[in-house]
Amino acid sequence: MKVYYENDAEKTDFNTYAKINLQPVDKIGLFADVQYRTVGYDFTGFDHDLSEIEQSVTYKFWNPKAGVTFSPTTNHTFYASYAVGNREPTRDDFTESSPTSRPKHETLHNIEVGYRTKGKLGAETSPHSYAAELNFFNMDYRNQLVLTGQINDVGAYTRTNIANSYRRGVELAGAVNITKYVTLQSNVAYSQNKLKNFSDFVDDYDTGEQEIITFAESDISFSPDWVTSSQLQVRPLKGLETAFIFRTVSRQFLDNTSNESRVIPAYQVGDVRIRYRLPLKKTLKEVEFALLANNIFSEKYAASGYTYSYIAGEQKTTENFYYPQATRNYLGQVSLRF
């Protein structure tokens, strides 16, 4: 049997794209675009009896998008759009399944409605300016691929299609030039991320089978409800920029069962960046020096991990594993622009 790195595979990907913008009346704009994409895979995979066979898969996707904008003034814009996106399974989904158990492609229906504004704080010549955007989104998935713990017909833990799932929420982004030398930027996102009719499979070593637990609705793993980011930039001298970046991420689940004992706790991280650009006049146009101090408060946190549950001796055991992130660390960088 071939090892993973000896498994030769060939992928072909062709796409073409068309877009149109119209303004039927003053202040109203219409836009539409479409992508046609064909994806082909030729690879060595398993049959249902674990024998290796040469396989070929081809997908043909239409990915359209259409929307409308309304701008009552140059500083205010309302918009709405609808889009459909399709995505093929990954290499592992193909090589670790048979033609019978191979998952379907994913389809996303995305609706977005939002508002953008920008302007000056004070007189038109004032250095104090602002920009903000509020965006509502509703992402409905068909056949989203997730890990369930189920073993397929070739003995692999593979991703399984979930018929219906969604991500719904709101995003708020803003920036303010407080002075000519100081800028504050901030982003906040809140979302609900759910799977419908999800079945979790747990290995039972006592029976050699798998226990199945079904949830009418559960949280999607690694999908925090809240994510925020703020950045304060200060430019005290020409070419010199300093920035303080602060990020927060709310708790998230390690799997799709919404089990409170299988979570990544919320965390907050602060970084500092110092950057200096030195302009030159010859072949080398610019040299940029940068110093990054990451996680300056030495927050001890994990950003990812995994969990595994099993039954043995009539006892159910759950083990959580985490990937701890570095405490305070530094990175230097030199960039040359020709």
Residue 225 is classified by DSSP as S
pLDDT given for residue 147 in this prediction: 86
Q: CA 278: distance to chain centroid?
A: 35
Nearest to 118 by CA among 69, 71, 74, 181: 74
Domains of the chain, by residue range, sit at 104-337
pLDDT given for residue 76 in this prediction: 97
Backbone angles phi, psi at 105, to 5 degrees: -75, 160
Q: Tens-digit pLDDT profile for the chain (338 aa)?
A: 455 566 677 889 999 999 999 999 999 999 999 999 999 988 876 655 566 777 889 999 999 999 999 999 999 999 999 999 999 998 888 877 777 778 899 999 999 999 999 998 877 767 789 999 999 999 999 999 998 888 765 566 788 999 999 999 999 999 999 999 999 999 999 999 999 999 999 999 999 999 999 999 999 999 999 999 999 999 999 999 999 999 999 999 999 999 999 999 999 999 999 999 999 887 888 999 999 999 999 999 999 999 999 999 999 999 999 999 999 999 999 999 88
Q: Which residues, 6+ apart, have CB-to-CB distance to 214 below 8 Å?
A: 197, 198, 199, 200
Strand 182-204 and strand 302-312: pairing? parallel
The matching CATH number, chosen from 3.30.300.30, 2.60.40.10, 2.40.170.20, 3.30.2320.50, for 104-337 is: 2.40.170.20
**What CA–CA distance (Å, rounded) separates 15 from 29?**
26
Q: Are the CB atoms for 103 and 145 separated by under 8 Å?
A: yes
pLDDT given for residue 305 in this prediction: 94
Q: Are the CB atoms for 306 and 321 separated by under 8 Å?
A: yes
**What CA–CA distance (Å, rounded) separates 77 from 71?**
4
pTM of the model: 0.88
